[in-house]
Amino acid sequence: MQTNDLIKALKADAAKPSMPIGRAWWIAIIGATIAAAIAFLLLIGPRPDIVAAAHTLRFLFKFVITLTLAAIAFMVLRALSRPGINVRHIAQWLVLIPVLVGASVFAELLAVPSGQWGTVWWGSNVYICLTFIPVIGLVPLGVILAALRHGAPSRPGLAGAVAGLLAGSVAATFYAAHCTDDSPLFVATWYSIAIAGLMFLGAILGPRIARW
């Protein structure tokens, strides 16, 4: 390519309108949610007794955890997409998740006889959980990483990991409607491992997709 051609190409790129990052994020979160919903409905769907389960605290508490995690991850990721923003005061809200999970696990240990701890911890859907949370979250992760390209993350690896956290929490929210294991011991262990897999993938892809 000649120098003049390169200059023209750079000018053309600069002239292209860029979507505001705020709009990109809302489009991304809506798109990620729709993608997760489609994958959920096509692959597994809700549990047969979901109406009855919706009247139990243990079932509903799963959504408290996953939705709270999604909301905090979204706020952290939006901050990470803008260089110079103080992320620490937002990221500290992530401490709320282990507090909620720890409190629910403690309550579960008090309510369930110790001889049954291993049974409720392992549950009956371990492999389904470890498979379908990442599967449901794959397209949402791609959508969220694409939105990062409209920002300027100074730490794209960290931003990618938080993108995986957001995608994983969205996927886990849908998966929770299918899962018949409502024990906080199960959720704390296996949901966390499944989401961590998407975080790891996001950390790898972030520097390749979201760098600027």
Instruction: With a cut of 60, say whether residue 11 has pLDDT above it.
Output: no
Instruction: With a cut of 80, say whether residue 99 has pLDDT above it.
Output: yes
Task: In whole angstroms, give the CA distance from residue 173 to residue 144.
Answer: 16
Q: What is the DSSP letter of 56?
A: S
Q: What is the pLDDT of residue 209?
A: 84
- φ/ψ region of 152 (left if φ > 0, alpha if ψ in -120 to 50, else beta) reads beta
Instruction: With a cut of 60, say whether residue 14 has pLDDT above it.
Output: no
pTM: 0.89
Residue range 23-36, pLDDT digits in tens:
889 999 999 999 99
Q: What is the DSSP letter of 16?
A: S
Assess contact for 101 and 184: CB atoms under 8 A.
yes
User: DSSP alpha helices (H): ranges in the chain?
Assistant: 3-15, 21-43, 50-53, 57-80, 88-91, 96-111, 117-122, 126-148, 156-176, 184-186, 192-209
Instruction: With a cut of 90, say whether residue 4 has pLDDT above it.
Output: no
| 54-74: average pLDDT | 97
DSSP 176-205: HTT-----HHHIIIIIHHHHHHHHHHHHHH
